[in-house]
Homo-oligomer: A and B are copies of this chain.
Amino acid sequence: MSVDGFIAGPAVTPDQPLGQGGERLHDWLFVNTTTDDRRVVAELLETSGAVILGSWTYAVAIETVWEYSSPFLFPAFVLCREGPVVETEGFTFVTGGIGNALAEARNAAMGKNVWVMGGAHTTQQFLRAGLLDELHIHIAPLLLARGTRLFEDFGRNQIDLRKLKVVTTPGATHVYYEVINQSNPEPM
């Protein structure tokens, strides 16, 4: 996420999956990465047993970024309204909303964490339903000014967090929060 809250710049396409100017959001992964940055990713991959992503994230990444092959060592579940004609190996398309996807992912994760990768709309749905235990946010040092906001339209209720840890590198401030009050989630 940029300091001003965007997880992609404007004009997201398969050739520009992070939008205009948004590739700098991932410099901590690909350009000025450090041991601590790599440890953040390694820990995520080691503790996750399944991942959930939105159909737009899948559509934007599958061709150019992932080259039609799952980059994950664990099952990936794609939220969608209707299943695709042809599935890509490693991805399972789930209809019936986030509740269904979470049930399937939990089952596949065999006791490990379920990672809700995004995008923004998917994260917002999970937040609104009170289904996230933790938020892990990676804040890159830039103001994007325009694009896709991570936190928008996730309900009208304040959500309290408890900071678990911060890992700071030149390319990112990795902040880990526990979600405290989700006492009054809105209906899915």
Chain A residues near B (Cβ < 8 Å): 3-5, 9, 21, 24, 127, 135, 137, 139, 141-146, 149-152, 154-163, 166, 168, 170, 173, 175, 177
Give the shortest distance, in Å, between A49 (CB) and chain B (any CB): 26
A173→B170 contact, CB < 8 A: no
A173's contact among B141, B155, B163, by CB below 8 Å, is which?
B163
A24, B157: Cα distance in complex, Å: 14
Contact A141 B157 (CB under 8 A): no
Supply 17 further A-B pairs (C-beta < 8 A) apart from A4-B151, A141-B161. Answer: A3-B151, A3-B161, A3-B175, A4-B5, A4-B152, A5-B5, A24-B158, A141-B160, A142-B159, A142-B160, A145-B154, A145-B156, A145-B159, A162-B170, A166-B168, A166-B173, A168-B168
| Given known A5-B5, A135-B3, A137-B3, contact A163–B154 (CB-CB < 8 A) | no
What is the chain B residue whose CB lies nearest that of A161?
B141
Which residues of the partner chain B approach A9 to less than 8 Å between Cβ atoms?
A: 158
Cβ contacts A to B, 24 pairs, < 8 Å: A3-B135, A3-B175, A3-B177, A4-B150, A5-B5, A21-B158, A24-B160, A127-B143, A139-B175, A141-B160, A142-B158, A142-B160, A142-B161, A143-B154, A143-B158, A143-B159, A145-B154, A145-B155, A145-B157, A145-B158, A145-B159, A146-B156, A162-B170, A166-B173
Known: A3-B151, A151-B4. A144 touches B158 (CB 8 A): yes
Chain B residues whose C-beta falls within 8 Å of the C-beta of A127 in the assembled complex = 143
- B168 and A163 within 8 A (CB): yes
Q: Whole-angstrom distance from the CB of A135 to the nearest CB of chain B? A: 7
Residues from chain B with Cβ under 8 Å of A166 in the complex? 166, 168, 173
